[in-house]
Structure 1
Amino acid sequence: MSAIKRELTAKFAATFKENNKQTALQRGVVKNGISASAENMVAHVNNVPVFSVDLATGKVANQMQSGRCWMFAALNTFRHKMLNVFNLKDFELSQNYTFFWDKYEKANYFYENILATATEDLTSRKVAFLLQTPQQDGGQWDMIVSIFEKYGVVPKTAMPESSNSSNSRDLNNYLNKKLRKDAVTLRNLVASGKSTSEIQSEKENMLEEVYNFLAISLGTPPETFDFEYRDEEKNYHLDQNLTPQSFYEKYVGINLNDYVSIINAPTTDKPYNQSYTVEMLGNVVAGKEVKYLNVDMDTFKKLAIAQLEQGESVWFGCDVGQSSTRDSGIMALDAYDMNDLFDIDFTMTKAERLDYGESLMTHAMVLTGVDLVDGKSTKWKVENSWGEKVGTKGFFVMSDEWMDEYTYQIVVRKDLLTPEQLAAYEKAPTVLAPWDPMGALA
């Protein structure tokens, strides 16, 4: 290994001081910050929030200080339909309700994975992966489908937000403490040769503690409730003694088996037109398998456009922190010009960013519009879940080029796929390692 010599650093410092351009940049960046100094107003001019296809979606929701974007995005796609069918205004489904059951199921999923790896050393990469983050707020589309299918949904009035769903740091901290402690117990039970029934009995005690912890922190999920509302014409409606499952069937009514996850991962280990899953990725034991069809970006965008043109919004996952302005809501490759600011070439291909840990899916949102010129997309309307104080009343604009580079997943109806694509999706998937970037949780 070669150490840095003092003489080399002194040479760099002297050269920097002699460069008037760099010292001028230094003054501006030190005072104003990197992003503010590099922001490019041309990106705002090129991404005006006007779209040839623009769906009516109502007000933007706010996930607050939590990582529930994936479930907000999924619930928002349901809400869009309900607003139109039932003539509702400013209506939301309960994100706290789905949050409760996701945490509960993730605890059991963690316990079962700990038991499945109990004979492996603690230094095993799989065991270390499990213990690093026993559970978190994030998730995948197929994971929220598992929650919907098992527990249904409820309106926000039936289980409103709580302090700990809106700011989940403490909840996650103490739940993970418990899960790691329980992992010690479960591994010791296996090591001491306890029977399966004895281990499962102890696991049930652990799950009861998890349920109590969640009920104290988030409230108790309703088993039955009344749905009371006025529509946009001020007509009064009351539907009594609903269950979460009957509410879903009557008011949402979407067959979740009609939808598939499509990804764009242009790495050499994931050939296009093949299906993939990720080991140890999920939340509900015996729930829906997380599964994707990998396609090229041209196909990816055509599928999203087809669904939008038929009046249906699109759940999607991306790396939102890359080249995007949070306050003004512009997602564009030229939002910042870091190469010119530092005279450094930061460019990598999409595949290189995935392979080398520079990018992965970090956030889920909803496509609610697209601007088409001669049938080609130029920019996209994005419904975020950060409230109305960012972007244009909460909506972002995503350039077509940004989608190419930083969008990784969409969810579309099966009937939009060609027979060949559907057949490829339905084949037995290639199993990816738990730490593969396509296993990232939005």
Structure 2
Amino acid sequence: MSKAIDTSLLTKFQTDLEKRPEHQVIERTVTKNGIFASATDFQSQTAMTPVFSIDLDTGDVANQKQSGRCWMFAALNTMRHEIKNKFKVPKDFELSQNYTYFWDKLEKANYFYENVLKTAHLPLTDRKVAWLMGTPQQDGGQWDMIVAIIQKYGVVPQSVMPETYNSSKSSEFNRTYNLKLRKDAITLRDLVAKKASEAEIAKQKASMLSDNYRMLAYSFGEPPTTFDFEYRDADQQYHIKRNLTPQKFFKEYVGWNLDDYVSIINGPTADKPYNQMYTVEMLGNVVDGRQVRHLNVDMDTFRSVALKQLQAGESVWFGCDVGQESERQKGIMDTKLYRKNELFDINFDLTKAQRLDYGESLMTHAMVLTGVDVVDGQPTKWKVENSWGKKVGNDGFFVMSNDWMNEYCYQVVVNKQYLATELQQVLAEEPKVLAPWDPMGALA
């Protein structure tokens, strides 16, 4: 039986507090400085010095500004590293995030419409319908989603389709776009309820998408179909390649077989046995494009494949819960950074699985591993290229402890050649379908 907090309980609470001789000092400290500053362990900062035994030269960091495109920035950064190494482009060279953003927004709308039609027979109170309408589309995404865009549309240099107000500060556009998509959902559900023909629905959807294309063109500019790529390399040699298409540019300047790059996750919850494939219902962007697929592995395997790719000289896309135990300005991510247990004399510890099951953690941000410090064959800390500009961390780079990776990293993308043979075989298996709200469906 429930019971309210009564006067006797309050008296006990006050007495318990008064029994702690240090309580007034701690109260003054926390009220003045806040929890994190009061709990900071400065030895963590000493341990997280930005020096690494493997340190890739990746050029300047990018800046996603006030948008949620970290997954896209991180993916394009791994590819521009390849271009920098092959073609000696300037260190500030970037691929156009605005170009892939445009196509992602158009494709996400179509993906939303298709899911609206698939669930049109369900009531609005159904959890799947409520999930769809909660956020028709957003800036976030996962690795397989950027691959789907690139496989269909290619990539272009940022100089060909630069950032705009709306790509760098996306909240106005997203609010307006989601307003339209929800209104379109009403129309589509009504058509299904009235038993409209497939041809009628297709015609209506095409009209909606045409309006969406216009909104996107007004907000981000219309994507180029052909362009010239002109630059001076690091040796000041002039180069120009004319009449490139986005697909041809990707083939000539990146040249990756994107099918070789696979998503590896560490989701240690009871419903996801290791060494199996998973996908997430209603998660994606390009209809009939690349499916979101994850291979779930233990943390030792997770770290090992990331390390192998770095040792081979290639950076690694990864997804994590960046807000946990991290200090933005100093660029530190370390489980020993804040001693909250000691500050409050309360045990806040949860396992990684418990955090996922109880909503305490999920993937919120994607970045790039560009270095690692290896001691006696084992990684101790990792160098991280962020996409928040140069004013945070060490010129935009962060340091992540190995313990922090264990607790708060959920996804890495690696070339499948670094997987053991038996795991490469698992990649071909039919994935188990997870619910739309599963934490492994979180968008970075």
TM-score, normalised relative to structure 2: 0.98
2:124 maps to a residue whose letter is L
Cα separation, 2, equivalents of 1:14 and 1:424: 59
Partner secondary structure for residue 426 of structure 1: coil
TM-fit CA distance, 1:268: 1.0
Q: Which runs of 5+ in 2 are unaligned?
A: none
1:109 maps to a residue whose letter is Y
| Aligned residue-pair number | 442
Matched, 1:401 2:437: no
Q: Deviations for 1:46-98, whole angstroms, at most 9, x for unmatched residues?
A: 11111111111000001101110000000000110111110111100001111
The 8 Å contact of residues 263 and 293 in structure 1, kept in 2 or not, is answered as yes
Which residue of 1 is the match for residue 232 of structure 2? 230
Which residue of 2 is the match for residue 334 of structure 1? 336
Which residue of 2 is the match for residue 48 of structure 1? 49
Q: How does 1:422-441 map to 2 (within 5 A)?
A: 422-441=424-443
TM-fit CA distance, 1:158: 0.5
Matched, 1:283 2:275: no
Partner secondary structure for residue 98 of structure 1: helix
Cα separation, 2, equivalents of 1:47 and 1:330: 7
Cα separation, 2, equivalents of 1:106 and 1:7: 56
Which residue of 2 is the match for residue 83 of structure 1? 84
Cα separation, 2, equivalents of 1:386 and 1:70: 12
TM-fit CA distance, 1:243: 1.1
Matched, 1:351 2:353: yes
The 8 Å contact of residues 275 and 291 in structure 1, kept in 2 or not, is answered as yes
Cα separation, 2, equivalents of 1:9 and 1:21: 20
Cα separation, 2, equivalents of 1:307 and 1:2: 57
Cα separation, 1, equivalents of 2:58 and 2:420: 29
1:419 to 418, 421, 427: 421
Cα separation, 2, equivalents of 1:154 and 1:225: 9
Which residue of 1 is the match for residue 207 of structure 2? 205
Which residue of 2 is the match for residue 298 of structure 1? 300
The 8 Å contact of residues 16 and 23 in structure 1, kept in 2 or not, is answered as no
2:316 to 310, 314, 317: 314
Which residue of 2 is the match for residue 219 of structure 1? 221
Partner secondary structure for residue 157 of structure 1: coil
2:40 maps to a residue whose letter is E
TM-fit CA distance, 1:11: 3.4
Matched, 1:63 2:70: no
TM-fit CA distance, 1:14: 4.7
2:165 maps to a residue whose letter is S
1:103 to 102, 105, 108: 105
Q: Deviations for 1:271-301, whole angstroms, at most 9, x for unmatched residues?
A: 1111111110000000101001111111111
TM-fit CA distance, 1:224: 1.2
TM-fit CA distance, 1:340: 1.2
Cα separation, 2, equivalents of 1:362 and 1:330: 17
Cα separation, 2, equivalents of 1:171 and 1:159: 18
Q: Deviations for 1:296-315, whole angstroms, at most 9, x for unmatched residues?
A: 11111110111000000000
TM-score, normalised relative to structure 1: 0.98
Cα separation, 1, equivalents of 2:18 and 2:396: 44
The 8 Å contact of residues 366 and 382 in structure 1, kept in 2 or not, is answered as yes
Which residue of 2 is the match for residue 74 of structure 1? 75
Q: How does 1:368-383 map to 2 (within 5 A)?
A: 368-383=370-385
Partner secondary structure for residue 209 of structure 1: helix
Cα separation, 2, equivalents of 1:283 and 1:426: 22
TM-fit CA distance, 1:44: 0.8
2:56 maps to a residue whose letter is L
Which residue of 1 is the match for residue 177 of structure 2? 175
1:165 to 164, 167, 172: 167
TM-fit CA distance, 1:15: 3.8
Which residue of 1 is the match for residue 4 of structure 2? 3
Matched, 1:30 2:31: yes
Which residue of 1 is the match for residue 157 of structure 2? 155
TM-fit CA distance, 1:423: 1.0
Deviating 4+ runs (over 4 angstroms): none
1:131 maps to a residue whose letter is M
Q: How does 1:102-121 map to 2 (within 5 A)?
A: 102-121=104-123
Cα separation, 1, equivalents of 2:116 and 2:106: 16
**Higher mean C-alpha displacement, 94-103 vs 35-44:** 35-44
Cα separation, 2, equivalents of 1:32 and 1:57: 37
Cα separation, 2, equivalents of 1:288 and 1:13: 59
Q: Deviations for 1:2-46, whole angstroms, at most 9, x for unmatched residues?
A: 222243224323543564422211212112122122111111111
The 8 Å contact of residues 72 and 385 in structure 1, kept in 2 or not, is answered as yes
